[in-house]
């Protein structure tokens, strides 16, 4: 049977893949592990704005409480807010109900440890085994008054906002921008936070109705933000995803500033201020080669990991790095949080804009020069089968021969969807398009 947990927890279409029954079993499984480990603290649960969030939260909480685990409901809150509050409140763990950048019909469940980091693979595997191997999870439940209790925490979002507001003490009154909240979790915190900081900002897509999360807005749909930045003659645009753990930006010219470029801007600034710990930076194998060249030019040691912010964070902890992230906008500033945090990223970017007085387009240009890169997603029946398919391997080898040492091809299955991502990078954009198109057609023919 397929794994339940991907690179970012359990995720799938509600009541097709992720049902209330499965959420209940996930709660039972985690609760059993909690009891076996002798934990005593509460599990905090937060969610984004999806209509299915209430149903899944109650099912997950029911499973946890049936095992005697106390639960605290934080309501709608950004994912990084849960990671922060787990540490701040001394909780045993945190759970987030969100499918991040996915459409409203999807949802997901992911866990944080008491340290605020995503739970390790071994705990996810143990939970999977309990759920999938047919063990009776209701065989030894807490009885009578030993069941867990749920409490509602209405102060958590405000506590997280207070923490964010205190990170930098800059004067933002000279800055004007457009903020896209993706009709997601950022909607409950970003408007008030940026107003509190004195930033002149037009807020868009901050009216969630349960079904409009990521619908033509947010970090995966930047067209609206680009148009608004140009129309308002704003200095920048910021776009969160559904659970606000990632951020992408738009410069004053209406051009996208992706995660690699934001990382490069922040790394360069920290390097210039002698604040980049041990001159180390962690990114993934999908990051643009231009970032690697910029790091090398400054004497910054660059580490590359598998895709997924959890792997970036693991490497950062191992190497003592304070900055790392992904092209998609998951960026980790370990001095401020233990996971990708779109709001912390926004504050760091605004801090650099404020203290340097430079435009975002200039900061981007000075930080790195992107190499042309083409990315294509192909939905398939079996996303793991490509690596053993001779025809797919042959067309990939042909592309690699054409690129030689001047470029590269990366093929990887998505960790959250049944699709394969094909990426080619090199000096000639037209050649890259041809190579990716040829590989994509072969993948469709063989696995579509």
- CA–CA gap between residue 416 and residue 393 (Å, rounded): 23
- CA–CA gap between residue 23 and residue 57 (Å, rounded): 8
- CA–CA gap between residue 150 and residue 166 (Å, rounded): 30
Q: 231 φ, ψ to 5°?
A: -65, -40
- CA–CA gap between residue 301 and residue 291 (Å, rounded): 11
Cβ contact 73:211 at 8 Å = no
The residue annotated as part of the active site, out of 100, 113, 187, 205, is 100
Task: Mention every residue, 6+ apart, whose C-beta is less than 8 A from residue 368.
Answer: 260, 261, 264, 288, 290, 291, 293, 294
Is residue 200 flagged as an active site residue? no
Starting at the edge strand found earlier in the chain, the sheet holding 106-113 runs: 5-6, 9-13, 106-113, 93-97, 43-47, 71-76, 150-152
Alpha-helical runs (H) found in 8-78: 20-36, 53-66
Cβ contact 268:349 at 8 Å = no
Cβ contact 361:349 at 8 Å = no
- CA–CA gap between residue 262 and residue 247 (Å, rounded): 9
For 95, the 3-state DSSP assignment is: strand
Stated as kind and residue range, the H or E segment containing 82 is helix 79-89
- CA–CA gap between residue 106 and residue 111 (Å, rounded): 17
- CA–CA gap between residue 74 and residue 94 (Å, rounded): 10
Question: What residues are annotated to the active site?
Answer: 100
């Amino acid at each position: 049977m397929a794994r339940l947990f991907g690179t970012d927890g359990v995720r799938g279409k509600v009541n097709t893949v992720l049902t209330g029954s499965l959420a209940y079993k996930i709660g039972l499984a985690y609760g059993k592990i909690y009891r076996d480990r002798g934990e005593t603290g509460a599990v905090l649960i937060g969610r984004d704005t999806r209509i299915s969030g209430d149903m899944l939260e109650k099912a997950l909480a029911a499973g946890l409480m049936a095992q005697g685990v106390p639960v605290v409901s934080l309501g709608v809150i950004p994912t990084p807010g849960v990671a922060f509050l787990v540490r701040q409140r001394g909780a045993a763990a945190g759970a987030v109900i969100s499918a991040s950048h996915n459409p409203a019909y999807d949802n997901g469940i992911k866990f944080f440890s008491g340290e605020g980091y995503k739970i390790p693979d071994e705990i996810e595997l143990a939970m999977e085994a309990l759920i999938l191997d047919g063990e009776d999870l209701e065989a030894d439940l807490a009885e009578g008054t030993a069941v867990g209790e749920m409490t509602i925490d209405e102060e958590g979002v405000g506590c997280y906002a207070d923490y964010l507001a205190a990170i930098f003490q800059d004067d933002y009154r000279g800055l004007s921008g457009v903020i896209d909240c993706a009709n997601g979790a950022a909607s409950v915190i970003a408007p008030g936070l940026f107003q509190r900081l004195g930033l002149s900002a037009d807020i868009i897509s901050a009216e969630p109705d349960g079904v409009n999360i990521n619908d033509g807005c947010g970090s995966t749909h930047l067209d609206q933000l680009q148009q608004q930045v140009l129309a308002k003659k704003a200095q920048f645009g910021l776009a969160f995803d559904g659970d606000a753990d990632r951020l992408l930006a738009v410069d004053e010219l209406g051009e996208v500033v992706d995660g690699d470029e934001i990382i490069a801007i922040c790394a360069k600034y920290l390097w210039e201020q002698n604040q980049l710990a041990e001159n180390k930076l962690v990114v993934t194998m999908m990051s643009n080669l231009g970032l690697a060249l910029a790091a090398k030019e400054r004497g910054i040691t660059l580490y590359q990991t598998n895709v997924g912010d959890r792997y970036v964070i693991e490497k950062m902890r191992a190497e003592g790095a304070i900055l790392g992230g992904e092209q998609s906008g998951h960026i980790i500033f370990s001095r401020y949080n233990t996971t990708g945090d779109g709001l912390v990223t926004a504050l760091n970017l605004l801090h650099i804009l404020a203290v340097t007085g430079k435009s975002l387009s200039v900061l981007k240009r000075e930080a790195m020069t992107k190499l042309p890169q083409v990315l294509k997603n192909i939905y398939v029946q079996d996303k793991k089968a490509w690596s053993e398919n001779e025809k797919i391997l042959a067309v990939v080898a042909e592309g690699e021969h054409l690129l030689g040492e001047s470029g590269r091809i990366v093929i990887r299955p998505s960790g959250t969807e049944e699709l394969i991502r094909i990426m080619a990078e090199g000096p000639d954009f037209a050649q890259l398009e041809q190579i990716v198109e040829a590989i994509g057609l072969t993948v469709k023919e063989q696995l579509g």
